Amino acid sequence: MPAPLQVFVQFFLLALTSFGGPVAQLGYFHERFVQRERWITAEAYADLVGLCQLLPGPSSSQVGMGLGLIRAGWLGGLAAWAGFTLPSVVLMLLAASLLSAHPSWIDGGWVHGLMVAAAVLVLLVPRVWF
């Protein structure tokens, strides 16, 4: 599999399962790309996170694109962004459209269930590297 496609697939899979905002996403990235896939060392990852925290904007997005760039060049950076960001955008637009069309659904118990499920997923993120 070409490296940019590999980057896209890895980040797309993370996008479908990672909830909790930038700090949680950095934990997911560490677990996946430092510990499991070994794309980058723990020291290089810490340096990348530190650099991205100095830059304006969401550091988790910048770290993701940096990981893609390290793995597969500028196409890898683009693939990381697309794989991680676009699924969230599509889901948010779909949810907004559905809830706008059916405002009574907001009061349903399923929205609370989604929030509880997201909290559980965030708690599963390994916090050892912080």
21-76 confidence digits (pLDDT tens): 788 899 999 999 999 999 999 999 999 999 999 999 889 999 999 999 999 999 99
What is the pTM for the complete model shown? 0.75
Any domain includes 84: yes
Any domain includes 130: no
Any domain includes 34: yes
Give me the pLDDT at residue 129, please.
Answer: 45
Give me the pLDDT at residue 106, please.
Answer: 76
Domain enclosing residue 62, as ranges: 3-123
Any domain includes 128: no
Any domain includes 57: yes
> How far from chain centre, in Å, is Cα 13?
9
Cβ-count burial 57-95 (b if 16+ within 10 Å, e if not): eebbbbbbbbbbbbbbeebbbbbbbbbbbebeeeeeeee
Any domain includes 19: yes
* Contact in structure between 20 and 60 (CB atoms under 8 Å): no
Give me the pLDDT at residue 130, please.
Answer: 44
Q: What are phi and psi of 97, to 5 degrees?
A: -65, -45
Total domain count for the chain?
A: 1
